[in-house]
Amino acid sequence: MLIETKDLTLEYLNGKSGVIAVNKVNMKLPETGFYGILGPSGSGKTSLLYLLSGIRVPSGGEIIYGGQKLPNSADERSRLRKREMGFVFQYHFLINYLSSFQNIMVGAVDSEGEEKTKRLISELGLDGLEQRPPYKLSGGQRQRVAIGRAFANNPKIVFVDEPTASLDHKTGRKVVNLLRNYSKEACVVTVTHDKSILEEADGVFKMWDGELERIS
Amino acid sequence: MFSPLSILTYFFKNKRKVIPILAIITLSILGISVTAAINGSMWREITDRVWFYEKYYDVYLTFSSESEGSLEEYQEEVEQVDKEIKELDAVDHIIVADVQATDLMTLFGNEGARVIFVGEDDREKFVNEIGIELDEGRYPESADEIALGREMLMNKDLKVGDSIGSKIDDEESLSGEYKIVGALTYSDSKKSMKLGIGYRENKSDDLSSAGLFLLNPKDGKAEELASALSRLEDKYGVIRVNTKESVDKMIDEEFSAVSKVLWAINVVVTLTITSSIALLNVIFFMQRANEFGLLASLGYSRKFIVGRTLLESLISIILGWGLGIIFSEVVYGILNSWIFTPRGIQGLTVLESQTFLFTIPVPLAVAIFSCGTVFWKLMRMDPVSIIEKRD
Ligand SMILES: Nc1ncnc2c1ncn2[C@@H]1O[C@H](COP(=O)(O)OP(=O)(O)O)[C@@H](O)[C@H]1O
Ligand SMILES: [Mg+2]
């Protein structure tokens, strides 16, 4: 198993009352494959991804990544994320003064960044758009640049938050196909409330009020 | 190609943000250095003028030798001082001279410059002691000839061969008429030469018949001589004394006031410029909050993000300052060749320790302000809250 959680819990403290966004989640994911987490808005999907990627610290339970507990120190978790993980945020956050090419390279680990980026550009169908800044790209193109950035460091695991939410059906389809392709080499965890994109997933989880359950 | 997060990439891709900051700093360096540069020019003018007192102290009568009445009245006293001066132990040699003044145009109105009339026998000693050289022509050989400093000639728009004096020009304070036979410089060519040398016919070496005693102190006895002279000045009302110390004290008093005003201006301008640039930096920084949050979320360390941002600020500030120095020097060069040099006035420059020092508070304060705010904001930044917002 690449990643495994034990009673993983995240509670947000809003003043006096707390919100349990992730509630005792137990899940296992192998080295490769396309996995989906389905659930309505507010069910805790994004929070779960933040925990798995080490962006947030759990309030309970633990995460075993590559056989070891995810490090406690924020710096070490950052380093791990930079080297071995990818994240496609829901709002794709490209750096708007950089070109597509440079935005993808931001995700790379220095040494082989340029070669890898060139390959990603053509795999993602972004040829000819290398020098364009994000504000001159369509939503789908931006989404692909964000995906490129997530894969630029040859990650072991990639987290994708609502990849199709802001795309039309056809573009969404294309994006999902790309992710599925990359899942042959890495573990891709996609969060969505759109069931249709998980038809060919290797595994699907359902999330509800912070609780997670495997449904296929 | 530069790496996407290198500082050069940021500068090239954000010219519209970087250039205004560079321009403000550059212009502010000019603005702030101009007062100091003018002050510096004045200061060099004056130190050149009082260079003389490194070698000779003045003693002269408080009344003119032409007003016969007073001379008779104080005859005894004058003879007594004359005797005491000549007996002073700390004196190496005395040059008996007459003196006149001629007006020069400066930045702040007219100022008198001296023409010293010395006897032929004294001249060589006098000239060597002070380091005066002939730039053109020769020294005066008769009472109607004169040699003037090169910068003096430029200031008056005269040349060797011209004549000068009240007989020719009503406004001229040099009385009589003289033919200019030589142009003088200091052997240190950076000094501006605003001294004239005339020919003294009178062979008498009595204080009563001379306009001026120039006293050259023995080596290492300058202070001793100065205090001896000031004692004489106190004792006898009939003489005035100028020594290096008294002249320096006068200059210090004048300049310390000017310098205080300049620094006050400097502080106000620095604060204004600093706060506006710092504000700009903070605005630009806010606009980049997404970028910083994103980088942190992607796993870039805070140290990297803070370091990169601070370095960006510092480089643009130092660059602006460097450009400011170059730009100021260019502007001053133009002003000098246009206004200062033709009038023989020491020109403006920013490359002089006092003026240069004056330009440092701007970049320094901007750096502290900008880096401080950026550092503070970055350390408090919560990357998760940023990526949870829409862009
Ligand atoms: N930063 C936060 N502070 C407090 N509560 C939060 C925060 N982020 C999310 N929540 C709450 O946690 C729950 C799960 O949110 P989220 O993980 O965003 O769900 P999803 O991604 O499935 O929409 C929601 O009730 C939400 O209001
Ligand atoms: Mg969400």
Instruction: Return the domain boundaries, chain B.
Output: 7-47+252-387, 51-244
Residue B226 has pLDDT above 90, yes or no: yes
CB of A47 closer than 6 A to ligand 1? yes
Residue A133 has pLDDT above 50, yes or no: yes
Give the end-to-end CA distance of chain A in Å, rounded to a whole number: 18
Digit-coded pLDDT (tens) for A175-204: 899 999 999 999 999 999 888 889 889 999
Residue of A50, A75, A105 with shortest CB distance to B4? A105
Q: Which residues in chain B touch residue A114, judged by CB atoms under 8 angstroms apart?
A: 1
Q: What percent of chain B shows pLDDT beyond 90? A: 60
* pLDDT classification of B256: cutoffs 50, 70, 90: confident
Tell if the CB–CB gap between B294 and A82 is shorter than 8 Å. no
Ligand 1: centre distance to CA B295 (Å): 22
Q: Which residues in chain A touch residue B302, judged by CB atoms under 8 angstroms apart?
A: 75
Q: Give residues 242 to 301 of B whose Cβ lies within 8 Å of A.
A: 290-291, 293-301
Please identify which residue in the block is written with the tokens 């502080």. B267
Residue A148 has pLDDT above 90, yes or no: yes
**Given ligand 1 and candidates A16, A17, A47, which is best to mutate, with the most ligand atoms within 8 Å of its CB?**
A47
Contacts of B117 (CB under 8 A, 6+ apart): B97, B98, B99, B100, B197, B198, B199, B200, B211
Under a CB-based contact definition with an 8 Å cutoff, are residues B293 and B377 in contact? Answer: no
Please report, to the nearest 10 degrees, the dihedral formed by the alpha carbons of residues A190, A191, A197, A200 taken in order. 50
Q: Decide if B383 touches A, using CB distance below 8 A.
A: yes
Instruction: Take atom 11 of ligand 1 and give the residue whose Cα is closest.
Output: A21
Task: Report the distance separating Cα A137 and Cα B168, nearest Å.
Answer: 83
Tell if the CB–CB gap between B294 and A93 is shorter than 8 Å. yes
Tell if the CB–CB gap between A106 and B10 is shorter than 8 Å. no
Tell if the CB–CB gap between B14 and A85 is shorter than 8 Å. no
Q: Which residues in chain B touch residue A85, judged by CB atoms under 8 angstroms apart?
A: 299
Task: Report the distance separating Cα B131 and Cα A79, nearest Å.
Answer: 71
Residue of A46, A75, A114 with shortest CB distance to B301? A75
* Token pair belonging to A200: 């060919």
Q: Kindly report the pTM of this predicted structure.
A: 0.82
Nearest of A69, A66, A79 to residue A187 by alpha carbon: A66
Instruction: Take atom 16 of ligand 1 and give the residue whose Cα is closest.
Output: A44
Q: What percent of chain B shows pLDDT beyond 70? A: 97
3-state secondary structure chain B: CCCCCCHHHHHHHCHHHHHHHHHHHHHHHHHHHHHHHHHHHHHHHHHHHHHHHHCCEEEEECCCCCCHHHHHHHHHHHHHHHHHHHHCCCEEEEEEEEEEEEEEEECCEEEEEEEEEECHHHHHHHHHHHCEEEEEECCCCCCCEEEEEHHHHHHHCCCCCCEECCCCCCCCCCCCCEEEEEEEEECCCCCCCCCEEEECCCCCCCCCCCCEEEEEECCCCHHHHHHHHHHHHHHCCCEEEECHHHHHHHHHHHHHHHHHHHHHHHHHHHHHHHHHHHHHHHHHHHHCHHHHHHHHHHCCCHHHHHHHHHHHHHHHHHHHHHHHHHHHHHHHHHHHHHHHHHHCCCCCCCCCHHHHHHHCHHHHHHHHHHHHHHHHHHHHCCHHHHHCCCC
Higher pLDDT, B11 or B256: B11
Rg (C-alpha) for chain B, rounded Å, is 31
Over residues B223-247, mean pLDDT: 92
Paired residues of B132 in beta bridges: B186
Digit-coded pLDDT (tens) for A58-84: 999 999 999 999 999 989 999 999 999
* Residue B203 CB neighbours (<10 A): 9
Q: Which of B300, B387, B389 to mutate to test the interface with A (most CBs of A within 10 A)?
A: B387
Q: Which residues in chain B touch residue A81, judged by CB atoms under 8 angstroms apart?
A: 298-299
pLDDT at B183: 97
Task: Report the distance separating Cα B144 and Cα B125, nearest Å.
Answer: 22
Task: Report the distance separating Cα B138 and Cα B327, nearest Å.
Answer: 42
**Dihedral sign, Cα of residue B269, residue B271, residue B274, residue B276:** negative
pLDDT at B283: 87
Q: Which residues in chain B touch residue A107, judged by CB atoms under 8 angstroms apart?
A: 298
Task: Report the distance separating Cα B129 and Cα B214, nearest Å.
Answer: 12
Instruction: Take atom 7 of ligand 1 and give the residue whose Cα is closest.
Output: A12
Q: Give CA separation, B301 vs B5, B292, B305, B378, in Å.
A: 13, 10, 6, 11
Task: Report the distance separating Cα B292 and Cα B382, nearest Å.
Answer: 10
Determine the 3-state secondary structure of A31 from DSSP. coil
* pLDDT classification of B216: cutoffs 50, 70, 90: very high
Residue of A56, A85, A95 with shortest CB distance to B294? A95
Least confident of A128-132, A168-172, B68-72, B114-118: B68-72
Tell if the CB–CB gap between A106 and B298 is shorter than 8 Å. yes
Task: Report the distance separating Cα B329 and Cα B314, nearest Å.
Answer: 22
pLDDT at B391: 46
Digit-coded pLDDT (tens) for B18-47: 999 899 999 999 998 998 899 889 889 888
ipTM over 0.90: yes
Query: What is the nearest CA distance from B276 to chain A, expressed in angstroms?
Result: 24
Instruction: Take atom 5 of ligand 1 and give the residue whose Cα is closest.
Output: A12
